[in-house]
Amino acid sequence: MTKTDSILAGLTEDELDTLVSIAIRRAEILDETQSPGADDAWSEVMVYEERLAALTRPEDIPGGVARVGAVTAALSAGRRSDAARLASRYLSEEAFPPERREAIQRAFQEDQERLARRFPSLAKTGRLAELAAWRANTSIYLHVFPRAA
């Protein structure tokens, strides 16, 4: 367990709720100003939401919201493999409500629509899957410059 994990493990649900709210607002501001730190800010939201999901039950409102929030934050950070991993985990929970399942599916659809707007030529020729494969292959390497996709 890392030091960060042990610190987060000691936080209460209310403390995590507060951190999530602050982190979301920060990420939104960085997104709006097109700051290069926006992806990192959304990654921070993902970490808090994932921890909050671990503390709560999937059928309860806070638990369902945290699970959807973790997936959407991962997508906002451009961490699609993490989003897929989290979605797989949360969708396999039997008690996870149908409306939350739909919210996760909608988040992936909206991400694809956003990518299609950003890369219209790839979308038009049906090659967005190639972009996803490229991102997955390059995500294992360190990056000097942020990726556009």
- pLDDT tens digits, residue range 92-128? 999 999 999 999 999 999 999 998 998 898 888 988 8
Show the tokens assigned to 103: 């919210």
- pLDDT tens digits, residue range 122-149? 888 988 888 877 777 776 666 555 555 5
d(CA 130, CA 137): 11
Q: Above 90 in pLDDT, residue 33? A: yes
Of all helices (H) and strands (E), which one includes residue 64?
helix 61-76
Q: Answer yes or no: is 149 within a domain.
A: no
Give residue 111's domain range: 3-138
Q: Above 90 in pLDDT, residue 75? A: yes
Q: Answer yes or no: is 133 within a domain.
A: yes
Provide the 10 A C-beta neighbour count for residue 26: 17
Q: Answer yes or no: is 50 within a domain.
A: yes
Q: Answer yes or no: is 116 within a domain.
A: yes
Q: Answer yes or no: is 107 within a domain.
A: yes
Q: Answer yes or no: is 56 within a domain.
A: yes
Provide the 10 A C-beta neighbour count for residue 107: 20
Q: What's the number of domains the chain is made of?
A: 1
pTM for the full model? Answer: 0.84
